């Protein structure tokens, strides 16, 4: 079987279905609103319904691992069922796990999320670089070897992060966020050739609510790099602003939305997914 890089598969999904990435975030209040119990069975039911609504419509789904983890082994079993459904539906699966460590520990995280056949197998995983981007070398190696991807936190949408991510270690230095981006480019200087790849397989998380210039990043710096952009919908960013926010890099951005879709409830879920997908695709037309 020919190995197709994640970046090529992502580019194909974006071209075919547009940039919507639906977050599967089973907050307790959402479970109550859906008439579901706050237990593993409720999480699985919500997650599988979201997958069914997204199939053929959204480019990707992004399960937030923490909401499943809070229910222990039963929660992980529910997550495994949701991941399997999503892969079977042809959706790209981004595990929002934000893992990061050093040595054999971070390698084990990579094996859990990026190894074909793993119960938690996903197409990509979010990684934290704050023990050094170089410490992520092993999960990055696994991702590229298995046709998987990774999204490394760079300029995130939560306001608490700006003090660290905008910091410049010395006068004239790049910001921490810009340094993460530069280090990532060194790990994957260009998209893997073939399969019509226009995007790399290593991406960054950049919030739609941040001002790139404040982090020393220009939209041109993101061209060719997949961008996972949270902050649309519930956090205040407007999908229509995607071209303005990311300029020439907009075609490689995944528009992450969760609560603004899930709050529609199970009866209106499919319509909410379609509406968000059409809006996201239209702004790039």
Which CATH number does the domain housing residue 252 bear? Answer: 3.20.20.70
Domain count of the chain? 1
Q: Which tokens hold the place of 117?
A: 């056949």
Q: d(Cα 112, Cα 128) in Å, to the nearest integer?
A: 16
The confidence score (pLDDT) of residue 197 equals 56
109 within a domain of the structure (yes/no): yes
Choose the catalytic residue: 87, 98, 185, 274: 98
Tokens of 280: 């996201």
Cα 28 to Cα 267: distance, rounded to the nearest angstrom: 18
DSSP for the chain, please give it. -PPPPHHHHHHHHHHHH-SEEEEE---HHHHHHTT--SSHHHHHHHHHHHHHHHTTT-SEEEEBHHHHHTTHHHHHHHHHHHHHHHHHTT-EEEEEEEE---HHHHHHHHHHHHSTT-TT--SEEEE--TT-GGGGHHHHHHHHHTT-EEEEEEE-SSGGGHHHHT--SSTTPPPHHHHHHHHHHHHSSSPPSSTT--S-SEEEEE-TTS-GGGGT--GGGGTTS-EEE--BSTTSB-GGGHHHHHGGGGGGEEEEE-HHHHTT-TTTHHHHHHHHHHHHHHTT-
Looking up tokens 């796990």 gives 97
- Give the CB-side neighbour count of residue 206, counting CA atoms within 13 A: 31
1 within some domain: no
Q: How many CB atoms lie within 10 A of CB 2?
A: 6
Q: Is the Cα torsion angle 137, 141, 142, 144 positive or negative in sign? A: positive
Neighbours of 9 (CB within 10 A): 21
Beta bridge partners of 155: 206
Kindly write down the DSSP assignment for every residue of 120-146, as one continuous string: T--SEEEE--TT-GGGGHHHHHHHHHT
Specify if 83 maps to a domain.
yes
**Residue 98 designated active-site:** yes
pLDDT of residue 237: 80
Q: Cα angle vertex 165, ends 164, 169, to 5°?
A: 70
Q: Which domain covers residue 79, as residue numbers?
A: 6-282
Instruction: Count CB atoms within 10 A of the CB of residue 112.
Output: 18
Q: How far is CA 193 from CA 41, 71, 198, 242, in A?
A: 43, 42, 9, 28
* Residue 217 maps to a domain: yes
Split the chain (285 residues) into runs of 10 and give each run's mean pLDDT: 89 96 97 98 98 98 98 98 98 97 95 97 97 95 96 93 89 89 86 63 95 95 95 80 94 95 97 96 89
């Amino acid at each position: 079987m020919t190995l197709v890089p994640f970046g090529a598969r992502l580019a194909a999904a974006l071209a075919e279905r547009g940039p919507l990435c639906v977050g599967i975030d089973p907050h307790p209040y959402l479970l109550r609103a859906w008439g579901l119990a706050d237990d593993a069975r409720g999480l699985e039911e919500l997650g599988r319904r979201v997958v069914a609504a997204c199939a053929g419509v959204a480019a990707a789904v992004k399960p937030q691992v923490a909401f499943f983890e809070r229910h222990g082994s039963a929660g992980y079993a529910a997550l495994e069922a949701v991941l399997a459904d999503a892969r079977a539906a042809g959706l790209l699966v981004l595990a929002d796990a934000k893992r990061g460590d050093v040595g054999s520990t971070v390698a084990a995280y990579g094996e859990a999320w990026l190894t074909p056949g793993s119960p938690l197998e996903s197409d990509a995983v979010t990684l934290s670089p704050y023990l050094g981007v170089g410490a992520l070398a092993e999960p990055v190696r696994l991702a590229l070897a298995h046709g998987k991807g990774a999204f490394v936190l760079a300029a995130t949408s939560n306001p608490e992060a700006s003090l660290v991510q905008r910091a410049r270690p010395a006068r004239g230095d790049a910001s921490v966020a810009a340094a993460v981006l530069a280090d990532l480019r060194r790990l994957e200087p260009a998209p893997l050739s073939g399969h019509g790849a226009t995007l790399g397989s290593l991406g960054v998380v950049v919030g739609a609510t941040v001002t790139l210039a404040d982090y020393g990043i220009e939209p041109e710096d993101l061209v060719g790099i997949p961008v996972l952009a949270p902050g649309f919908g519930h956090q205040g960013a407007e999908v229509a602003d995607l071209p303005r926010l990311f300029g020439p890099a907009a075609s490689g951005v995944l528009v992450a939305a969760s609560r603004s879709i899930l709050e529609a409830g199970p009866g209106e879920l499919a319509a909410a997914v379609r509406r968000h997908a059409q809006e996201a695709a239209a702004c790039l037309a």
